[in-house]
Each structure stands twice: as structure tokens, then as C-alpha cells.
Amino acid sequence: MTEIILARHGETKWNVEEVFRGRTDIELNQTGIKQAELLAGYLSKHKIDAIYSSPLKRAVKTAEIIAGYHGLDIEVAPELIDFDCGDWHGLLRQEVQDKYKELYDLWVNHPDKVKIPGGESLNDV
């Protein structure tokens, strides 16, 4: 039976700062690299036949670290790119919360019901 393992990229500076990233192509920070190495160590116990990654640097680096444990190349799949967070892009979480209070509250509680202004909904993805 085929098993699919989904993994999120490691931490970035914008994760720490709580900035909406979307498709901004930012690198992993040192913590993110360590997280990817820990994940790779854990996944080394699994037989992995293929690794697919978003084209964003943070995802590619995470995938490369995991791939190194398995002797695999990664396949970059543009279809896996992060969603477009539109007008929220580059804003701090608190700025979004202040400027888009009702929409942000809905995003936190029911993200499937939100289309971010100028961006995508989860259904669009």
C-alpha cells in the first residue's frame, strides 16, 4: 500500500515574527534547519521512494535535508506552492488582526470560509 507523508517546512524568520508569508521566497533560519534535520532523522526509519517539494526555498531546503537521508533527488512541483495571501502578504499577524478583525477571526476559526482580499481561499488552492 502506498503511504503519503506530508511535512511542513522548517521555521523561517517570518514564522518567528508572525508575518504572513504566502509565496515570499525566504530561507529557513537556524532553528528551521535543525527542525528539518530532526524530521529527516525521524523519517530515516521509513522507506521513501520519492520526495516532492514546493519551489519555495524553505520547502526545498527541508526536502533536500530529508532526501539526503534516503539518497534521493527531490522533485520540485509548482502545484505545491503556498497559497497567495493577497493583501495580508508581508503584514504582521497583529496588523491583520487590527485591520481585518472580523475576517481574521473567521480565518482563525473557519479558514475554509475565507477568501483573503487580493488572494486565494483554501478552496482555490
Residue 2 forms part of a structural domain? no
Number of domains into which the chain is organized: 2
Residue 118, pLDDT > 90, answer: yes
Confidence (pTM): 0.88
C-alpha cell at 25: 521566497
Q: Which pLDDT band holds residue 31 (cuts at 50, 70, 90)?
A: very high
- DSSP letters spanning the chain: -----------BHHHHHTB--TT----B-HHHHHHHHHHHHHHTTS----EEE-SSHHHHHHHHHHHHTTT-PEEE-GGGPPP--GGGTT-BHHHHHHHTHHHHHHHHH-GGG-B-TTS-BTTT-
- How does pLDDT run across 11-20, given as a tens digit for each residue? 999 999 999 9
Query: In terms of domains, do 78 and 115 share one?
Result: no
- How does pLDDT run across 40-95, given as a tens digit for each residue? 999 999 999 999 999 999 999 999 999 999 999 999 999 999 989 999 999 999 99
Domain of 31, in residue numbers: 8-82
Residue 96, pLDDT > 90, answer: yes
